[in-house]
Structure formats: structure tokens, C-alpha cells
Structure 1
Amino acid sequence: MKSLRIGLVDLDTSHPGSFVPILRAFGHEVTGVYDKGEIHPPGYAEQFASEHGVGKVFASLEEMAGQVDLAFIHSCDWDVHADRALPFIQAGKSVFIDKPLAGNVRDLRRFREWAERGAVITGGSALRYAQEVREWAGKSASTDPFVYALAGCGNDDYYYGIHAFTMLHGLLGPGIESARHLGSSGQDQYELTWTDGRRGIVNVGATAKHHPFYATMITQAEATHIQVDGSRLYESMLEQVLPYLCGEAPAPVAMETLIETELAAIAAKSSKAQGGRPVALRSLTPEQIGYDGAAFARDYRERKASSTGMR
């Protein structure tokens, strides 16, 4: 794998700092950082660069796009992901967008259009690439008929909740047809239905304490429960996406499949707003009410200030 010059965009979360040593271990250079300052105070980008041995703090995305091969977009406000990515797409550079990809149909369609036009772009939750998920998904291709599945996590309905949607999607594969809200019992339960008739539940929402990423899969022959080991989660994801971002391998997951996860979450939210009526993913429009990234970022900033911020 050839060595890339990598830029980190928006240092809002713990992810940029966690990614730096892994990217270097894979032989890449973290060239510089850019931070809009929507979460951290002025001077944080310089502090981050000093602490992580990064040589340059860029003044603009356009400047960074001229000096890197690949940008990682880490903004916790998912509503700015598309605009942050655009200068790099226009410059013909590779882009990785941290989870969730976006919170509205319009931006998700932009990502799909960019990929269809040849842009090298990927991203989303690392849970899709977890070893436990990949191992079970590989086994599911056997002749053992599937019955049902449940996936879940804690903390919130989208920033963390997208992990649960992604985990179920990674286990069962593409082809989600619709979502419906089943009800709430401390957390929200949503049932996803696949075009071939398979179904599974996603359990998400705020919890008093941290929950692991978990899933239970039922087939005719067995019931399997997994909890994801988070210690190698980022490494596992980057190991699989970096060859594509280097231009040396096809995309490990097609963009059409990636955005299906976020579309399922948006359909699930729409179903809740409509009293549990099933909502088909194909019925979603660019005007569809989604998840408010700016509101989440404001809350995230307040949590950071009180030292209770989420990762």
C-alpha cells in the first residue's frame, strides 16, 4: 500500500487522536489538521498538532486539499460533512467521512452521486468492519435459515445509535426495504425489514450507563450473541478501507450500501413521528425530516465543557 499524505478535518471528537497512531502504523503521513473551532476553543488545533507530532495547521480546507491525498472528516455536526468534503472531491482527493455520514437524505444522495461520478469516498460506522460482525456474516451464507436478529447500544439515538443500525446491516447485508417504530421501553425499538422478508430489531437511545455494542442472531440451528471488542475496532476498519482510499483496491462496501444504513435510521425516525407506521426507504425525499447535526453539536460542546462529553 502506497503512503498517503493525510489531513484531519475538525478535531471535535476523540477519533482524530485515536486514528493518528494507526494511520502511521500503516505507513501513512498525517500531514496536517484543520479545525473550524465549533467544539474546542481557539488554539486547540495548534495544541493537538503539537501533542500528536503533526507538522501543519491549515487555515482553510482549500489549502489542505492542495497538500494532502486523503482527508478524514471528523466533524461531530454531521450536517456539515458534505460541505467539508466538497473541496477535496473537487480537487480529486480521497475522502473518509466519520459516522454518521449525514442526517438528511439530500446529503446522502450527494455522496452517492459523487461516488457514481468516480470520487473515492467512503466512511460511516466502524461496526460494519468489526471482526465479530464479519465472522458471523460470513457464516450466514451457509444453508442455515435465518429467523431474527437484535442489535443495540446506548447513549443516544443517532450519533451512537447509528452503530446499532450499522451492526445489524453488516450482519444481514444490504436490502433494507422499510423501518417501523415498535415502541419505547427505556430505549426505542425499531424493526427493519429486508426485501427478502428477513427482519431484525435495532434498540437505541439514551442510557444511564455505557452499553457495549451487542447483537443476537437467531437461525433455525442456533442462537448467537456477540459483543464487539472495541480495542481493535478502528484498526480493523482502517485496514479494510485504506487500500481503497489509496486507489489500490475496490471499495470494501459500495456507497449505495453505506448510505442505506443512514436512510434506514431516517425512515425509523419518520416512522416514530407517524405513530409507528412502516416507512419505506424508497419513499424518503430530500425534504425528509432527519437528525439535526447542529443541535447535537451544541449539546456535545456543552458536555465537553462539563467534562462529560461523548467520544
Structure 2
Amino acid sequence: MSTRRNFIRNSALAGLGISISVPLIAKNTGSVEAQGKRVGIIGLDTSHSIAFTKTLNGEEASSEYLGYKVVAAYPKGSLDIPSSVERIEGYTRQIKEMGVEIVGSIEELLSKVDVVLLETNDGRRHLEQALPILKAGKRMFIDKPMAASLTDAMIIFNAAEHYGVPVFSSSSLRYIGGMDEIKAGSVGKILGADAFSPATLEETHPDLFWYGIHGVETLFTAMGTGCQTVSRAFTEGADFVTGIWKDGRIGTFRGIREGKRGYGGTIYGEKENVNLGTYAGYNPLLKEVVKYFDSGIIPVTPEETLEILAFMEAADLSKEKGGKPVSMEQIMEKSRKESREFKL
């Protein structure tokens, strides 16, 4: 792992004194029962917090949201990313206007809510913020990126298993137009896929974790797990990442650095090839989140989420190696060893 990626990971762990000795992948069986429908939000530094609250707390919220309402929010949030920190004051004002109580700590929030949306825009803070939620036995959705490193994500899943609380993370681009039909078999067996999305960079995060994760999530939603090697090249204005799956299938991600290029992709199926539709917004994801809050059944497995993060870390390592292929297992094993150094 590069010095930069070590810094990103260690900055999230500093002072936590965490150590984990439980199995690597959480099963998330949902042993903790849902206690109510009061939703708490951590992190008012992203538009997602406002969008989710508007939908859940709207006067005409549909029955699909199962009566869940946002009742309390803890604003922090990113501490040192200017583009995120500068949003907190305005978003705090907006969410108060929707009748949401602002609290001064995560501990206070947990005393007032039943489930949690961890929305902090800075993935480096997710581990430290997730641990008290899991310890309190409350179901939690973690917005993208699940963490700023694969190791931190492994520790979160291990802690989720330790405390018997299901947890999941996802980008809303998992639910891009047309994906449901493809997953249901409309194109037959998926033979390969290309995905694209904006991929602006943030120096505190590995390159694709900040925004490229949207297109990578789209790619894995179509292809599933099983990627074995990753290579990365930079073409004019874009990163181009190629993954080769264990059955020989090829999936690619093109991350656009500048300009408004939107989201999309092409799926190659045994029956036909199809282009993905338009971005469907946040609500398709939010519907899955409230179903999970209610049932404890996670819609995205830990294995898939961890492979998405490993793919992005492998892309960084390939970049360092001049575009040479990187083994996904190499990336996974290194993070497994690092995650075992921490105990609860």
C-alpha cells in the first residue's frame, strides 16, 4: 500500500484503540430486531442528507417508505474537506426547517433514534462513527464510500458481526435505469459490461473512492463478484480501468475527470446488448434502505462491497505500477492482515 493510502487509512484509526479478532466477513443475519421508525442522520455535509429527509418527512411520503421519519441529526460531518465543511451550516438550517432536532453528539443522537443513516461525506470518519452505532445495536446504512480504505470497511463488517447488527453500503447508481430488468434476466447471462461516471478527485481519498465509486458500483451490480485482476490506464481526460473476472468475462470502468458527462454504461448479454438508462435519483436506494431497516435483510452483501473497494484500491496500485495488472487477492489479503491487527 502506498504512503498516501496508509495515511488515509491510519487517519481514520488514530486514537480509536480498535482491535478485531472475529471472522473476516460479517454474515449480517439481522439478529437485532428493529425497535421503531425514528431515523437519525450523521453528517450534514452532503446533499444526500437533505434529499433523504425531504422524501421521508414529506407530507405525502408514500407507503413504500414504511413510515420511517428523520427525527434527529448530528451535523459533523467532514472536518477538513472544504467542499464538504462549507455545506454544514446551510444544510443544518435546511434540515431544522423540516422539523429535525439537531444534537451535539453521536451518543445523544443514539438516545433518540432507532436506525441511522451514516451520511458523513468523508469516508475516513466512517469507522470511528460507525462503531458506537453498532455497539448500541442499531441498524445503519453507510453512504458511499463505505470507508476511505478496504481495511476500514473490513473492520466495520467484522464489528457488525461481532455485535450482531446487519449493515450495508451502496451508491445510488446501483439502481440506475434498466438495471433491475437486466438483473432479472432480460438480456440473459451477462457476458461483460462497460460503465462510466464522473470521477473527480479528492486528495484525502484514494482516487476512485471519492466519485468514481458511482460507476464502479454500476459495473459490479451488473457483473457481480469474482474479479481477479485490475489494470488502469489514463486516456485524455479520463481513467480507464479494466477488470478480468475468474470466468474470463471483462468489465471496464471509465471515470471522467472533468465536465458533466453523466452516468451510464453498456451491458453485453447472451440475448442482446443494452445501454443503461438515466440516473434514477436517490429514492430507489432509499426504498431499499427502509426495507432493510424494517427487516434486517441487507440488499448488498459484504463480499460485493469489499470487492468494489478492492477494485478501486487495485486501480490505484496499477497506476503506481504504470498500468500493470494487479491481483485482487493480493489487495484483499493485505487488508485482511491489517484488519486483524485491531481488536474490539
Alignment-derived partner of residue 171 in structure 2: 125
Alignment deviations for residues 39-78 of structure 1 (CA, whole Å, 9 cap, x no partner): 0378556513322221x11111111112211111111111
Aligned to 1:5: 38
RMSD (Å) for aligned C-alpha atoms: 2.4
Q: Which residue of 1 aligns with 2:298?
A: 251
Aligned to 1:306: none
1:268 equivalenced with 2:312 (yes/no): no
Matches within 5 A, 1:66-215: 66-117=111-162, 118-139=164-185, 142=188, 146-156=190-200, 157-207=208-258, 209-215=259-265
- The one-letter code matched in structure 2 to 1:261 is I
Compare 33-42 and 103-112 and name the one that shifted more: 33-42
Relative contact order higher in (CA < 8 Å, ≥ 6 apart): 2
Normalising to structure 2: TM-score of the pair? 0.75
Letter in 2 for 1:112: F
Deviation string for 1:180-232 (max 9, x for gaps)?
A: 1134232010001212221111001412x2112111122354321123233xx
CA distance in 2, matches of 1:20, 1:44: 15
Query: Which residue in the other structure is 2:95 paired with?
Result: 49
SS in 2 for 1:286: helix
Q: Which runs of 5+ in 2 are unaligned?
A: 1-33, 80-84, 201-207, 338-344
Instruction: Specify the code of the residue in structure 2 equivalent to 1:286.
Output: S
CA pair 273-221 structure 1, distance change in 2 beyond 3 A = same
SS in structure 2 of the partner of residue 182 of structure 1 = strand
- SS of alignment partner, residue 324 of structure 2: coil
Closer/same/farther in 2, CA of residues 263 and 219 from structure 1, 3 Å limit: same
Q: Which runs of 5+ in 1 are unaligned?
A: 289-311
Question: Is residue 131–residue 159 contact of structure 2 (8 Å, CA) maintained in 1?
Answer: no
Summarize the Cα distance change of 1:46–1:190 in structure 2 as closer, same or farther, 3 Å threshold: closer
Residues 59 and 149 of structure 1: CA distance in aligned 2, closer, same or farther (over 3 Å)? same
Tell me the distance in 2 between the aligned counterparts of 1:59 and 1:203. Answer: 41
2:197 and 2:255 in contact (8 A); partners too? yes
- 1:90-148 CA distances to partner (integer Å, 9 max, x unpaired)? 10011111111112122111122133332221122111233421211222673x5x443
- Secondary structure of residue in 1 paired with 2:209: coil
- AA at the equivalent of 1:124: S
Equivalent residue runs for 1:22-61 within 5 Å: 22-24=55-57, 25=61, 26=65, 27-36=67-76, 38=79, 39-40=85-86, 44=90, 46-54=92-100, 56-61=101-106
Amino acid corresponding to residue 262 of structure 1 in structure 2? L
Query: How much does 1:287 deviate?
Result: 9.8
Within 2, Cα distance between the matches of 1:270 and 1:49? 40
1:40/1:63 CA distance change after superposition, 3 Å: same
SS in structure 1 at match of 2:184? helix
